[in-house]
Chains A and B, each alone.
Chain A
Amino acid sequence: MNRPELVCPAGTPAALRDAVDAGADAVYCGFQNATNARNFPGLNFTPDELARSVDYAHKRGAKVLLAVNTFPPAGKVDLWRDAVNMGDRFDVDAYIVADIGVAEYVATRLPHRRLHLSVQAAASSPEAIRYYVREFGVKRVVLPRILTVSEIKQMGEEIPCEMETFIFGNHGLMVEGRCSLTNYVTGLSTNLDGVCSPAAQVRYEPQPDGSLATRLGDYAIDCFSKTDKAGYPTICKGRYRADCRPDPYYAFEEPISLNLSPLLADLIKAGVHAFKIEGRQRSRAYVRSVVSAFRKSVDAILAGREPHLAELIALTEGGKQTEGAAKSKTWR
């Protein structure tokens, strides 16, 4: 059985240290700007912080993967190149990229650096992945969250690079890296600015009947009764009406968390090289508990023991969780 790398989120230097201390083999993070897909206020690293964090991780045997995984709009490419060059100076262990221009820049200027293909590149077939391996020397692909375990195994047999899969975090079926929903509503783009439902344009509005409407820009994304816990207004997690659905329904996704912990052993057998935990926007406490729980689980499986995963369930969104696409494909 190969030993999969546990790849953990770091939204701040403190979270990075916690993740490393809790047993992460690698942490991923980004700069405080549009060059990464979690460009949220209060998150991410200044250049100084990244330099010190890489040092902290390396001294403890952990890798740092730099997410430069948004798509630069024409005229702003230098910001992405600066991020890449700083990462090189600070000796990051790999870049996670999505844009072809950024990939080519790393491949030609910094051929000694590892390239990982971000889930934002939406490479969901062997040919798509082989394109990035052939043209840019990509060493690892982060697979979309839409494949079953058997499809992942099949994929592994058809591609000449490592596979990383999400095991815990958001459950989403929208193709990542191909979304302009937020830009349509707010003028800030997920692909170009790394922004999804920006907090500055979110409002929670109590209604006369006691319910609570959640809004993004000019649009109501959902409305919650007094007894419901209101969710954050992410467009693809909202409730809407259609002619055939007069009552509001989750048109895209249920707000539910992905938890593949019961499938870890199967995923290792399927040839997955790295497990990704999502949550750069999450608290230190969250990162600490999730990382240490998965560390124990992976180690247990590798030692031939049963993993204990009950503590993870408490951390999932509203307690609701799913093995998502990985279990079967009846949801498509």
Chain B
Amino acid sequence: MAELTIGPILFHWTADRKRDFYARIADEAPVSTVYLGEVICSKRSPFFDEHIPEVAERLERAGKKVVISSLCEVMLKREREAMREHAAIPDREIEVNDNSGLFHATGRPHRIGGLFNCYNEATLDALVTRGATHVCLPAELPRASVALMAARGRERGVGIEHQVFGRASLAVSARCYHARAHGRVKDNCQFVCEEDEDGMTLKTVEGAPFLAVNGIQTLSYAYLNLLGDLDDLVALGVTHLRLSPHTQDMVATAEIFRGRLDGRIGVEEAQAKLKELRPDATFANGFWRGRAGHTFTTARI
């Protein structure tokens, strides 16, 4: 049976908000696995790192598997050091989002995160041979390729995960675009990204919402929503379905997806409930359908 997971929080939420979020996830969310840790900006890490042991313990007591996810971009000395320490975390699974993590993690069990380019069977094989036990596929991978990856994952005995909800990561940069928007640079950013808990909307010159900025990361404006494709994902052999955290009620979000997976609610009802939770959100499933990523098609494949 396919399992739901909660991906790492991509945005700069306060430590209090994160702790409250995970407490509710621990107590109420029908998910099997929770990914913790800062994956976007190393400047944010100190705010929450000290709380991770306590939060992890809380989640584990509630029966969740906890995986520590790593930075998606590693350049500076402190980031390199953080990655080395990350790979050495004892007794807990780690998820790697950057090739420098592979340098340290090779030879010990580790997961590959959705921000890493694992697009094909040959890459999957190479990573599994070197210790990967579970791979979250890039959000832009179309259905036909996901199907083949799920089949190869089954042959190799590794989990295959795919994001089914939340803004899709589209790009990462060496520059902080939140700081830039406010006339600052990364070094004096004053954590202005904290103001945008689901990302900062970029609109076209004509005013159409287009993208969302999250520090060095650029995300889709639309929220990835594969509610209508869950049966298909499961039939193809995808083992884990990732919900990427947003400010909306994520427990209720997980319940909708779980209800749909269990066949307790139909697709239309599930979509209506999701829309109710987040009336302002635009949805997209174009990547899955091999079309422009921002598009949303409800017809069955």
Interfacial residues, chain A to chain B (CB-CB below 8 A) = 71-77, 98-105, 121-128, 130-132, 134-135, 144, 146, 173-175, 177-181, 183-187, 189, 191-192, 213, 217-223, 236, 239-245, 248-249, 251-253, 325, 330-332
Contact = CB atoms under 8 A, between A and B. Distances in A.
Contact of A213 (B203, B205, B293): B205
B74 A71 contact: no
- Of all A-B residue pairs in the complex, the 3 with the closest CB atoms, nearest first, are A101-B122, A184-B293, A101-B123
B211 interface: yes
B99 A131 contact: yes
B76 to A, nearest CB: 9
A126 B122 CA distance: 25
Interface string B140-152: 1110111011001
Given A125-B80, A131-B99, A217-B292, A178 B205 contact: no
B171 A102 contact: no
Contacts of B149: 74
A248 B145 CA distance: 38
Nearest to B187: A332
A166 to B, nearest CB: 14
B200 A242 contact: yes
Interface in B226-258: none
Nearest to A185: B292
A101 B292 contact: no
Most A-side CB within 10 Å, residue of B80, B123, B138: B123
B122 A181 contact: no
B55 interface: no
Interface string B204-242: 111110110100001010000000000000000000000
Contact of B292 (A72, A104, A187): A187
A240 B174 contact: no
B185 A332 contact: yes
Contact of B117 (A99, A105, A244, A330): A99
Nearest to B287: A183
B117 A178 contact: yes
B181 A242 contact: yes
Interface centre among B98, B171, B293 (most CB of A within 10 A): B171
B98 A128 contact: yes
A104 to B, nearest CB: 4
Interface residues of B, number: 75
Interface in B124-147: 124-127, 130, 138-142, 144-146
A132 B186 CA distance: 29
A250 B226 CA distance: 32
B145 to A, nearest CB: 4
Contacts of A180: 138-140, 168-171, 287, 293
A102 B204 contact: no
Interface string B91-127: 0000000111011101000000001011111111111
16 contacts: A74-B121, A101-B122, A104-B126, A123-B99, A127-B80, A128-B102, A135-B106, A135-B126, A180-B171, A184-B286, A191-B140, A220-B208, A241-B203, A242-B200, A252-B173, A252-B177
Interface in B59-108: 73-75, 79-80, 83-84, 98-100, 102-104, 106
B98 A189 contact: no
Contacts of B58: none
Contacts of B74: 124-125, 127-128
Interface of B: 73-75, 79-80, 83-84, 98-100, 102-104, 106, 115, 117-127, 130, 138-142, 144-146, 148-149, 152, 168-177, 180-182, 185-187, 200-208, 210-211, 213, 218, 220, 286-287, 290-294
A219 B106 contact: no
A110 to B, nearest CB: 14
B-side interface mostly = mixed
Given A130-B103, A191-B140, 19 more contacts: A71-B119, A71-B123, A74-B119, A74-B148, A127-B100, A135-B130, A173-B173, A174-B172, A175-B73, A178-B171, A180-B138, A180-B170, A180-B171, A180-B293, A181-B170, A184-B168, A184-B220, A219-B210, A223-B206
A179 B202 contact: no
Contacts of A105: 122
A27 B175 CA distance: 30
A115 to B, nearest CB: 14
A290 B171 CA distance: 30
B104 A127 contact: yes
A117 B163 CA distance: 29
Contacts of B182: 244
Nearest to A121: B99
A132 B152 CA distance: 23
B185 A245 contact: no
Contacts of A134: 103
B73 to A, nearest CB: 7
Contact of A175 (B171, B181, B200): B171
A187 B293 contact: yes
A173 B174 contact: yes
A183 B293 contact: yes
B293 A146 contact: no
Contacts of A187: 286, 290-293
A253 B171 CA distance: 13
Q: Which of B149, B168, B294 has the most CB of A within 10 A?
A: B294
A102 B122 contact: yes
B99 A132 contact: yes
A73 B143 CA distance: 11
Given A174-B173, A184-B293, A251 B202 contact: yes
B140 A221 contact: no
From B99, B121, B169, B203, residue with most partner A Cβ within 10 Å: B99
Contact of A191 (B119, B174, B207, B208): B119
